[in-house]
Structure 1
Amino acid sequence: MVNEHKAIVNGGGEEVVEVETLIIGAGPTGLGAATRLEQLGRPFLIVDGSNKPGGLASTDVTTEGFLFDVGGHVIFSHYKYFDDVLDRALPDPDDWRVHERVSYVRSAGVWVTYPYQNNISQLPLDLQIECLDGLMVAAEQRARTPGIKPDTFDSWIVRNMGEGIANAFMRPYNYRVWGVPTTQMQCKWLGERVAAPDLRTVMRNTLSRKIAPSWGPNATFRFPARDGTGGIWTAVAARLPAKSLRLGESGTVTQVDVGEKVAILRDGRKIRYEHLVSTMPVDGLLPILRSEKDQDKIESMKSSGKEGLVYSSTIVLGIGIRGSRPERIGDKCWLYFPEDNAPFYRATIFSNYSDHNCPSPNTKLATLQLADPSIPFNSKEASEGPYWSLMFEVCESEQKFVDTQHLLQATIKGALATELLLPTDEIVSTYERRFDHGYPTPTLGRDTALEKILPTLKDEFGIHSRGRFGSWKYECGNQDHSFMLGVEAIDNALFGTPEMTLNETDWVNGRRNTERRLR
């Protein structure tokens, strides 16, 4: 075993760094692996092509001072170990803001409390009737055929919710999120993600005009007071030895020789490892693998990936607005949009998460435009706030075209159509960024591909491919899951410990995991 990472010179005169564990990627999964190794006192090296940690959980700041996460992230946890790490990274109570989720669906011109299927009482009467009728038909169908199990997400929706809710919300919304029809998706991933409605409760709430209570693991969540979600991972990375992180363009891995167990970086430097944890998208990892004697196995995995691994891209847009938070916005957290009058599927009132997500009120900013660009305004002279902000997410895929050239203005127009903005609201900052790999889509062929790829990587080549796109399982792709995938990969590599988050996700999500602690 190599006890420390060090540079050696090989027979060809090249300098090669030797390390016990190499970690590709400094997002939550990579930092989870590194945190566990640091706890164990074992040597490691993290490499990442980005110049800051966080990966898909990082935060950007506009020139005007508005913060926007690279997607809709909040902190909720199934693991005490994960809580320990975050409490150590941000230990002051003032480092956090705690929120009760206030979430709605925009449907038929009204705000419907989430989850939609439990609150159809808030819909117009004709839609209530359609949804209730569908629920009753679905209940009758389940009673007649108790042994049938849905084989697609679409059949699960219809069997549990009926055609009314399927057509009004579930089908259009999920297409807008995933970029594929629900008929092309499996349903094993659902777990705690989607609430199956109880017919009697829905009927009772509808007739009495009651609102169903919050549901789901993120009904209460916390958010960092400063620096956005990315601030969490910057703080976690800061607890690790600086010599063990190599970030920036030179940290990009361009090739991995799985026979020699050598990774080559963009600048030509080589790293020899004993264990490799890769958090890069597995469809990006496979093409850079090389092997003199096992190239056929690599090619076979690549073919499986092309057939079964589907993903969508995510475009995140942000708008900074001058003024106090409007009454119509209130304490809303995030909002869902199933209809075509807006290009985004989700909007987050990002300024509600923390007052530090916007510039201070005395910051002077110029107005870029009014929300309705047809309304003229006379002055671009900078003036003070206060300010609030909106963050939007748009899905793009092979089956879902997005006019990216005009997306920002289409987003503003959609915000007007859904009453998030008023025509005279002053926009003082805008943000737009596209992420090629946004969501790992749980398609019908996903599991067949993963059952071939992940075991071959681990058992044949000693590579633990883990993380949101490393293991390609959306059901264990939240920040807490992703972090623990890295922790458990290390325990599996070093001690053979089972990886429960990856292989028993429903079991993990159904309990509070307190066995492993940081101390």
Structure 2
Amino acid sequence: MSSTKVDTLVIGAGPTGLGAAKRLHQLHSTGAASSSSSEPWLLIDSSDEAGGLASTDVTQEGFLFDVGGHVIFSHYAYFDDAIKEALPKDDDWFELQRVSYVRSKNVWVPYPYQNNISVLPVEDQCKAIDGMIDAAEERVRAKDPPQNFDEWIMRMMGKGIADLFMRPYNFKVWAYPTTAMQCKWLGERVAAPSLKLVVSNTLNKKVAGNWGPNATFKFPAHGGTGGIWKAVAKTLPQNKLQFQKKVVKVDAGEKKVHLQDGSTIEYQHLISTMGVDYLLENMIVPSADAALHKQMQAAAKEGLIYSSTHVIGIGIRGTLPPRIGDKCWLYFPEDDCPFYRATVFSNYSPNNCPQADVSLPTLQYADQSKGKPDSSARPGPYWSLMMEVSESTAKPVNYETLLQETIKGCVNTELCKPEDEIVSVYHRKFEPGYPTPSLGRDAALKDILPALCDKYGILSRGRFGSWKYEVGNQDHSFELGVEAVDRALYGSPEITLDSPDYVNGRINTERRLTFAK
């Protein structure tokens, strides 16, 4: 079987791996990096194409569904440069205003929920404000920082909002109770409410404006989120991208990767975007390092937990109803549906659905008690919804019934009308789906990531490579790969990995993507 030698090997063609590849290509093509090998770098992936956990699937009827809720917003000039190079034309994109709500008490509460309780029933407004007053008093008395996510919620928002929204919603998202999660990951992801503003808005029956880093966002006109990463991959030398290459073993001592097809790749530096738990389970170390290896494996098993994600999509015949309007993504804390989030995916791009002149048969009514529909093929127009459901040992689901439970939930929450004609369905489980910011996560990563890097020259990075949800968006993931290259080649610090709050609080312009003419 074949054997290849490279200076830097990148495993995985998702955003992190492609970020690493872009940086390697930039440095070597401009002469900023030297090579001791005829192959300075190589990227491999087990899939057929680039995208990883930011890819897009297409149903046989022609509906597009991302593998989860993804939108483009950025903290990095380098990321912006790479995306603009890949999709440079104005008509490659739609620029969208986030229109987001929480479905609570049969009303749509503008996002973020904790700033907009003015639309709730008066009884729940009182519960929320009472809790916020108690929380403000607790913050004055408290001497120690909150020890878990639940304590943070109670201290920042109080019992009313905790019980109405934060606890049930976060259990649906993470599939673990808030008491089992840390709170260091929060940063800009959860809005802490202003008591004065909430009371003023409630009395004046006003709602707060948009909040957060994704109040506006971009979405590709064609190909879904996966189309972005396919385009980025096309900007790289194609002979340095190898697909359908599954890693089965990493010999850390010999610095050699063994592939499923029997071939091997020797490397000097390894940037791995595989799950760090998978890496540790399939890593060979010298016998002298057996104890260290077992220690790292034990740390991963004890401290690194995750939830799986079910992505469920439905394509619907008809014009977009007024009740949906310009909504983008929607949150669901209550138990009248299994999903925690729904995205009106056809609002992101009209090309996420088949054209109106495409004729499709109706598979079922949204409410199956309406009987069996006429199955003859008829034209559109069409629109679509995409839902996400979490699963863990603490929150099991029934895969066989989940699709119909989800459609029923769409009717319960008025996303669908009972008579809506469903012409396409999609259901795919991703395991793992979310890296959980558990109480033991940071201690485990402290035992694992430095040892892999310092002892073996392996930089485990990415959504599950470095297991940090707070820097797990597409821009973060891409930059984790960029910074890993600079760490491997020059010993540079990795700011995104080590200082999430810092990078999330600014636009990072230290690196730019420029190529020699």
CA deviations on 1:357-407 (whole Å, 9 max, x unpaired) are 000010000000111111124521101100000000000001001011100
The residue type paired with residue 15 of structure 2 is P
Residue 134 in 1 paired to residue 128 in 2?
no
1:430 corresponds to: 425
Deviation of 1:133 (Å): 0.5
Could you report, residue by residue, the CA deviation over 1:447-499 in whole angstroms, capped at 9, with x for unpaired residues? Answer: 00000100000001100000000000000000000000000000010011110
Aligned position for 2:141: 144
Q: Distance between the aligned counterparts of 2:492 and 2:499, measured in 1?
A: 13
Partner of 1:380: 375
Would you say the 8 A contact 2:403–2:427 is kept in 1? yes
Secondary structure at 2:57 match in 1? strand
One-letter identity of the residue aligned with 1:158: M
Partner Cα distance (2:343, 2:156) in 1 = 28
1:38 and 2:1 equivalent?
Answer: no
2:162 matched to 1:166?
Answer: yes
Counterpart mapping for 1:4-43 below 5 A: 15-41=2-28, 43=40
TM-score, scaled to structure 2: 0.96
> SS of 1:374's equivalent?
helix
Partner of 2:278: 284
Matched residue SS, 2:6: strand
Q: Find the counterpart in structure 1 of residue 84 from structure 2.
A: 87
Kindly report which structure 2 residues correspond to 1:202-241, keeping only aligned pairs within 5 A, or say none.
202-241=198-237
Task: State the match for 1:77 in structure 2.
Answer: 74
Match for residue 196 of structure 2?
Answer: 200
Gaps of 5+ in 2: 34-39
Looking at structure 2, the residues matched to 376 and 470 of structure 1 have their Cα atoms a distance apart, in angstroms, of 48
Cα distance between partner residues in 2 of 1:195 and 1:148: 21
Distance in 2 between residues matched to 1:140 and 1:264, nearest whole Å: 59
Question: Which residue type is aligned with residue 496 of structure 2?
Answer: T
Structure 2 contact 49–230 (Cα < 8 Å) conserved: yes
Which of 295, 300, 305 lines up with 1:305 in the alignment?
Answer: 300
**Structure 2: distance between partners of 1:115 and 1:379:** 42
Structure 2 CA distance, aligned partners of 1:23 and 1:143? Answer: 49
Distance 2:2 2:157 in 1: 61
Asked if 1:356 corresponds to 2:351, the answer is yes
Deviation sequence 1:302-322 (CA, Å, 0-9, x none): 000011000000000000000
1:462 pairs with one of 457, 465, 482: 457
Of 247, 260, 265, 1:266 maps to: 260
Partner of 2:37 in structure 1? none
One-letter amino acid matched to 1:135: M
Alpha-carbon distance in 2 for matches of 1:196, 1:291: 46
Letter of the 1:209 partner, please give it. K
For residue 447 of structure 2, what is the aligned residue in structure 1?
A: 452
Shift of 1:411: 0.3
Give 3-state SS (helix, strand or coil) of 1:340's partner.
coil
Shift of 1:242: 1.3
Q: Do 2:365 and 2:373's aligned partners in 1 also have CA atoms closer than 8 Å?
A: no
Describe the superposition over 1:50-97 as per-residue Cα deviations: whole angstroms up to 9, x where unpaired: 111110000000000000000000000000110000000001100000
Task: State which of 66, 82, 93 in structure 2 corresponds to 1:96.
Answer: 93
Question: Helix, strand or coil: the match of 2:459?
Answer: strand
Residue matched to 1:4: none
CA displacement at 1:328 relative to structure 2: 0.2
- Give the aligned partner of residue 102 of structure 2: 105
Q: Which residue identity does 2:319 align to in structure 1?
A: S
Distance across 1 between alignment mates of 2:141 and 2:481: 45
Indicate the residue corresponding to 1:319 in structure 2: 314
2:150 counterpart of 1:154: yes
User: Is 1:256 paired with 2:250?
Assistant: yes
SS, match of residue 508 in structure 2:
coil
| Whole-angstrom distance in 1 between the partners of 2:411 and 2:307 | 26
Cα deviation, residue 243, structure 1: 1.2
Letter in 2 for 1:370: Y
For the 8 Å contact 2:363–2:373, the answer to whether it is kept is no
Q: CA separation in 2, counterparts of 1:291 and 1:460?
A: 10
Q: How much has 1:225 moved relative to structure 2?
A: 0.4
Write out the 4+ residue segments of structure 1 that deviate beyond 6 Å after TM superposition: none
RMSD over aligned Cα atoms:
0.8
The share of aligned pairs that are identical, in percent, is 62
Q: What is the rounded CA distance, in whole Å, between the counterparts of 2:396 and 2:165 in structure 1?
A: 20
Which residue of 2 is the match for residue 122 of structure 1? Answer: 119
Q: Distance in 2 between matches of 1:457 and 1:336?
A: 38
Moved more, 408-417 or 375-384: 375-384
Matches within 5 A, 1:488-503: 488-503=483-498
Q: Deviations over 1:232-262 (max 9, x none)?
A: 00000111111111112xx000001111100
Does the residue aligned with 1:167 lie in a helix, a strand or coil? Answer: helix
- Distance in 1, matches of 2:240 and 2:510, equals 28
Report the Cα distance in structure 2 between the residues aligned to 1:45 and 1:422, rounded to whole angstroms. Answer: 51
Are 2:50 and 1:56 aligned? no
Superposed displacement of residue 295, structure 1: 2.4
Q: Secondary structure at the match of 1:294?
A: helix
Question: Is 1:295 the equivalent of 2:290?
Answer: yes
Question: How many angstroms does 1:296 deviate by?
Answer: 2.1
**Equivalence for 1:242:** 238
| Contact map agreement 2:362 2:373 (CA 8 A) in 1 | no
Give the conservation status (yes or no) of the 8 Å contact 2:364–2:373: no
Q: Report SS of the residue matched to 2:157.
A: helix
CA contact (8 A) 2:56 2:226 kept: yes
2-structure distance, mates of 1:206, 1:226: 42
Separation in structure 2 between the aligned mates of residue 295 and residue 19 of structure 1, nearest angstrom: 27
Corresponding residue number in structure 1 for 2:389: 394
Report the AA paired with residue 239 of structure 2: K
Q: Give, in angstroms, the shift of residue 164 of structure 1.
A: 0.3
Name the residue aligned to 2:36.
none
State the AA in 1 paired with 2:144.
I
CA distance in 1, matches of 2:470, 2:232: 24
* Cα shift at 1:15: 3.6
Secondary structure of the residue aligned to 2:482 is: helix
